[in-house]
């Protein structure tokens, strides 16, 4: 058990028999009143979200997850198959457990799967992923502003804003935490 004031983003907590991932938190100290922690939580099992306010004196149960390095094999409908690199055991996760990570999964990608009491509950993506641009508008000739971005569809279906010089076929590095373009990757 930890004090509610020690809750942080990304932490897994257990409330009423359910696991929740802390998506966002804010410590509120309203003048002469007692401090409180306003949180946005996502239920790991069904993906539903809720906002919950903890009093500063509340105690919260932190769930500890086992992390196992696995390789993504393939997708079949809304099911995703992974293989343990040490035991070669295969598991499947549904779309709700993958969440927004579906936008970054490529075959043969190595990532961390989170387990709670022997059951897989989610994935932990690397901070950056290199993806190929499959569709974007051509460069506008005569456009002199360099800060103008354009939409680009990546090989996983994700659409993000990229600089004007990016063209179809380019490989770009994307920040998985913010769905944001970082740089063009030089290919050999």
3-state secondary structure of 96: helix
Range of lowest pLDDT (14-23, 76-85, 149-158, 163-172):
14-23
Number of domains composing the chain? 3
Domain holding 139, by residue range, is 128-184
Asked if 70 and 91 sit in the same domain, the reply is: yes
| pLDDT on residue 83 | 93
Q: What is the pLDDT of residues 122-131, one digit of tens each?
A: 788 888 889 9
pTM greater than the 0.85 cutoff: no
Asked if 58 and 70 sit in the same domain, the reply is: no
Strand pairing class (18-28; 79-84): unpaired
């Amino acid at each position: 058990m930890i004090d509610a004031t020690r809750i942080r983003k990304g932490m897994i907590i257990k409330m009423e028999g359910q696991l929740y991932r802390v998506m966002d938190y804010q410590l509120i100290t309203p003048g002469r009143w007692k401090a409180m922690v306003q949180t946005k939580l996502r239920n790991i099992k069904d993906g539903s979200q809720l906002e919950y306010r903890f009093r500063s004196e509340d105690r919260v149960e932190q769930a500890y997850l086992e992390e196992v390095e696995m390789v993504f094999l393939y997708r079949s409908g809304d099911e995703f198959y992974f293989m343990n690199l040490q035991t070669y055991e295969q598991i499947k996760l549904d779309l709700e457990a993958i969440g927004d990570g579906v936008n970054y999964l490529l075959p043969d990608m190595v990532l961390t799967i989170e387990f709670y009491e022997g059951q897989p509950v989610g994935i932990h993506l690397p901070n950056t992923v290199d993806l190929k641009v499959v569709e974007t508008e051509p460069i506008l000739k005569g456009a002199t502003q360099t800060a103008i971005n354009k939409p680009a569809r990546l090989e996983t279906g994700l659409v993000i804003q990229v600089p004007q010089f990016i063209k179809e076929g380019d490989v770009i590095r994307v920040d998985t935490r913010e769905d944001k373009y970082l740089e063009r990757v030089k290919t050999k």
